[in-house]
């Protein structure tokens, strides 16, 4: 690649970047003009999904504590099981769904809905269960609340222990998946509404910024 071609490529990348920034500014301006209900759904909808994730974490933690007969350190085990799933769900959903939508990177409705459902089920539902298992296993070993097997039977033991918990949490995982689907569908609909306002008025981005 010659120096001239490199400069042209660099100039093209800068132009695309600036165009993307202008588009994001226009989207944000129209978004700020939407009804408060739509704004709240986009800005705070992920918190509802995350709150359910915290409930899943606490429920899974309680199931494992009962199975392993762990009676000590309820706060030490409960606080992380409420906080970590909440923060993880908000962070993942915000990055891969909401920000991707309103930055113009995610225009496909099916892709947005599938992402929302997967994040709801995997991060908001399954992840808290997987997180509760090692935490309660370490507590059971520390306080000797339940006899633990040797290394040769370790995998079978934990699979047997975790199976009823996953069975009980299957409804929560399903609800989280459906919640993620619903939330992503509504947010994509709001994004489409913004695009329709941009196209219907046929307004120039510079006029919107004025």
Question: Do 82 and 54 form a contact (C-beta atoms < 8 A)?
Answer: yes
The residue whose two tokens read 């009676």 is 71
Q: Between residues 26 and 55, which one has the greater pLDDT?
A: 55
Instruction: Kindly tell me if the per-residue pLDDT of 55 is higher than 70.
Output: yes
pLDDT tens digit sequence for 13-27: 666 667 777 878 888
Nearest to 41 by CA among 97, 82, 1, 81: 97
Task: Give the CA count within 13 Å in the CB-facing half-sphere of 187.
Answer: 35
Residues 6+ apart with CB under 8 A from 77: 61, 65, 70, 135, 136, 139
Domain count, the chain: 1
Question: Do 181 and 113 form a contact (C-beta atoms < 8 A)?
Answer: yes
pLDDT grade for 210, boundaries at 50, 70 and 90: very low
Task: Give the CA count within 13 Å in the CB-facing half-sphere of 154.
Answer: 6
Instruction: Kindly tell me if the per-residue pLDDT of 11 is higher than 70.
Output: no
Specify the 3-state DSSP secondary structure of 40: helix
pLDDT tens digit sequence for 154-199: 888 888 989 999 999 999 999 999 999 999 999 999 999 988 888 8
Return the structure tokens found at 173: 């995982």
Q: Between residues 7 and 70, which one has the greater pLDDT?
A: 70
Instruction: Kindly tell me if the per-residue pLDDT of 8 is higher than 60.
Output: no
Specify the 3-state DSSP secondary structure of 140: helix
Mean pLDDT score, 103-116: 90
Instruction: Kindly tell me if the per-residue pLDDT of 209 is higher than 50.
Output: no
pLDDT recorded at residue 208: 45
Residue 162: C-alpha distances to residues 86, 167, 179 (Å): 22, 9, 24
Structural domain containing residue 32 = 3-209
pLDDT recorded at residue 104: 79
Cα dihedral 37/38/44/46 (nearest 10): 130
Average predicted confidence (pLDDT) for the chain: 86
* Range in 114-118, 131-135, 144-148 the model is least confident about: 144-148
């Amino acid at each position: 690649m010659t120096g001239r071609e490199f400069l042209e490529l660099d100039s093209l990348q800068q132009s695309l970047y600036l165009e993307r920034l202008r588009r994001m500014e226009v989207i944000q301006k129209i978004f700020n003009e939407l009804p408060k209900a739509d704004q709240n759904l986009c800005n705070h909808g992920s918190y509802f999904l995350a709150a359910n994730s915290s409930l899943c974490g606490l429920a899974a933690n309680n199931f494992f504590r009962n199975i392993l007969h762990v009676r000590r350190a309820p706060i030490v085990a409960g606080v992380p099981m409420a906080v970590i799933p909440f923060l993880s769900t908000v962070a993942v959903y915000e990055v891969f769904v909401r920000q991707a939508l309103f930055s113009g990177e995610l225009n496909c409705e099916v892709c947005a809905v599938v992402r929302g459902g997967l994040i709801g089920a995997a991060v908001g539902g399954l992840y808290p269960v997987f997180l509760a298992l090692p935490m309660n296993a370490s507590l059971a070993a520390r306080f000797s609340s339940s006899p633990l097997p040797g290394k040769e039977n370790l995998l079978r033991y934990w699979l047997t222990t975790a199976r009823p918990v996953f069975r009980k949490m299957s409804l929560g995982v399903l609800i989280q998946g459906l919640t993620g689907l619903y939330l992503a569908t509504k947010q994509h609909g709001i994004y489409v509404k913004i695009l329709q306002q941009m196209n219907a008025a046929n307004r120039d981005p510079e006029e919107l910024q004025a």
